[in-house]
Structure 1
Amino acid sequence: MNLYRGCTHGCIYCDSRSSIYQINHKFEDIEVKENALELLKKSLKNKRQKVMIGTGSMADPYMPLEKRIEYTRKALKLIYKYGHGFTCITKSDLILRDLDLIKKINEKTKAVVQMTLTTADEDLCKVLEPHVCTTKRRVEVLKELNENDIPTVVWLCPILPFINDSEDNINGIIDYCIEANVKGILCFGIGMTLREGNREYYYKKLDENFPELKNKYITHFKNNYHVASPYNGKLMKIFYKRTCDAGIMNNPDEIFTYLNEFPAKNTTKQSTLF
């Protein structure tokens, strides 16, 4: 489900700015689906098979606007009421506001929180993702979720060529993930994507924060959609070795299967009584 369109986090690399998504208004002016909760209620109520409900792939469900209108919280109440599972992708510590509901869902069925981490450098994080809590705070959120038995998955992406594609950064993020006891890390290679809409915005931000780097991108990557770091091979070897050594899932297919899989019936803690 996507309750919102657009975002106010200001991440300089955001693919959701791409023209293909046809957001025909200023990206920071959030479009709200006013009947989304009614549609969700109808869908969940009539669905015979219980499933995982996901959100956050297009817009963070925990933007500042959520503090006021509580669409995500209200959706969580419906998901809990009708016995479905929940997972979301976020960068925001606002998710802790709903920890009570997430715990209830996880006790009844299954809840998984996915958190994006792109840089271990706090100052760089404030440039790349200026209007949301920094990496260190997100790691604190991951640790609190772990303490409350909520499984977590980290999106280690995008990694921006010539900016944060370094061994120190990859190792730093993996160190954070080990500290927080995350279940899996999604990494689709060291790089990013650029296409019409988000490319123009990204290049504008490069000019503002990294002078001359735009020309380097144009020379190396031209108009390619997939923009791979020249250090991809070396850094992915580090990623796979360290995650394997730590016992963290690192295969995207395996992780997505886990995220989408609704728990089988009669596997609750009550079964220990027999």
Structure 2
Amino acid sequence: MHYIKSKGILSAKNGMNLYRGCSHGCIYCDSRSKCYHIEHNFEDIEIKENAIELLENALKHKRKKCMIGTGSMTDPYIPLENEIGNVRKALSLVYQYGFGFTLITKSNQVLRDLDLLKSINDKTKCVVQMTLTTYNEDLCKKLEPNVSTTQHRFEALKQLYNAGIPTVVWLCPILPFINDTEENISGILDLCIEAGVYGVICFGMGLTLREGNREYFYRQLDLSFPGMKEKYIQTYGNQYEINSPNSTALMKLFHQKCNQHGIIHDNVKIFEYLSTFEEKQSDKQLSLFD
């Protein structure tokens, strides 16, 4: 790990990354792409040493309350978080200043902060987003070797639901010839149904590959799926969008099953929900007497 001083913390859309780089080792990781300009070794985590100070200053000076987000580039619950604690510090500030919060993770370590997540949700709105790529535990360990398995994430989703915290699942990426089967998609959706998720985000049955993440992905294919790299090159060449040959049937299954069980599966609606700040009615009523 290494430290830097940052000039700012929140993006124009109120997202933040407290760390840069990741140690989860997911074989398909888009954040390794060169377009994101992570110049250091990806596993050498960059820590913004003044992140919490910058966040408090930003929250103090915001004119309107909003949703604050994290996890779009780096999973907030990398193992280093247990040592540094920036996510928990950020959650405390978000609660203190009355903002909403949403995060994206693949780790059941999110449950460490269940008390703060619940406190934020009781006051405004807190949504936990969890990525699921396969319901097969052995395959999960190959695709995402250094992070909580699907079963552990599923158990976390259930605990979040029981605590009254809404959840959204990212059903991606779907890797052609690896996890692009009806059995896999149906299995993931069964977990979502049982865990009571609010919505499932899906951009299609496939993945994207570009300079940086393509090379890493192919190296991992050689290690875990011998011969698969050659199949990808023969089938897709250097395409950016890699769509499963089973895409049409899988998307039909996805939409049908979500419809049957009342799961929101319109990406536009889900992103609107994630970005909409909500105050609980009790807080609105109390504010009338302030």
Question: Normalising TM by the smaller chain, what interval?
Answer: over 0.9
1:141 aligned to 2:189?
no
257, 265, 268: which one aligns with 2:282: 268
Counterpart residue identity of residue 175, structure 1 = D
Report the counterpart of residue 59 of structure 2 in structure 1: 44
State the Cα deviation string for residues 89-130 of structure 1 (Å, max 9, x = none): 000111111000001000111100000000010000000000
1:62 aligned to 2:106?
no
**CA root-mean-square deviation:** 1.2
Q: 2:76, 2:87 within 8 Å by CA — same for their partners in 1?
A: yes
Q: Distance in 2 between matches of 1:266 and 1:186?
A: 25
Report the counterpart of residue 109 of structure 1 in structure 2: 124
Q: Distance in 2 between matches of 1:17 and 1:113?
A: 23
Report the counterpart of residue 194 of structure 1 in structure 2: 209
Q: Distance in 1 between matches of 2:175 and 2:111?
A: 28
146, 169, 176: which one aligns with 1:154: 169
Counterpart residue identity of residue 43, structure 1 = A
Report the counterpart of residue 5 of structure 2 in structure 1: none
Counterpart residue identity of residue 267, structure 1 = Q
1:168 aligned to 2:183?
yes
Q: Distance in 1 between matches of 2:23 and 2:35?
A: 19
220, 232, 246: which one aligns with 2:247: 232
Query: How many Å apart are 1:35 and its aligned residue?
Result: 1.0
TM-score (norm 2): 0.92
Q: Distance in 2 between matches of 1:266 and 1:243?
A: 28
Gaps of 5+ in 1: none
44, 55, 61: which one aligns with 1:29: 44
Identity rate, percent:
62
Shift in CA distance, 266/163, structure 1 to aligned 2, threshold 3 Å: closer
State the Cα deviation string for residues 57-82 of structure 1 (Å, max 9, x = none): 00000010000110000000010010
Q: Distance in 2 between matches of 1:128 and 1:53?
A: 29
When the two structures are aligned, how many residues end up with a matched partner?
271
Structure 1 runs of 4+ with >4 Å offset: none
Query: How many Å apart are 1:269 and its aligned residue?
Result: 7.6
State the Cα deviation string for residues 224-267 of structure 1 (Å, max 9, x = none): 1110001000000000000011000000000000000001x562
Shift in CA distance, 52/270, structure 1 to aligned 2, threshold 3 Å: closer
State the Cα deviation string for residues 120-171 of structure 1 (Å, max 9, x = none): 1000000000001100110000000000000000000001000000000000
Q: Distance in 2 between matches of 1:224 and 1:85?
A: 38
Gaps of 5+ in 2: 1-15, 286-290
Q: Distance in 2 between matches of 1:269 and 1:115?
A: 28
Q: 2:21, 2:43 within 8 Å by CA — same for their partners in 1?
A: yes
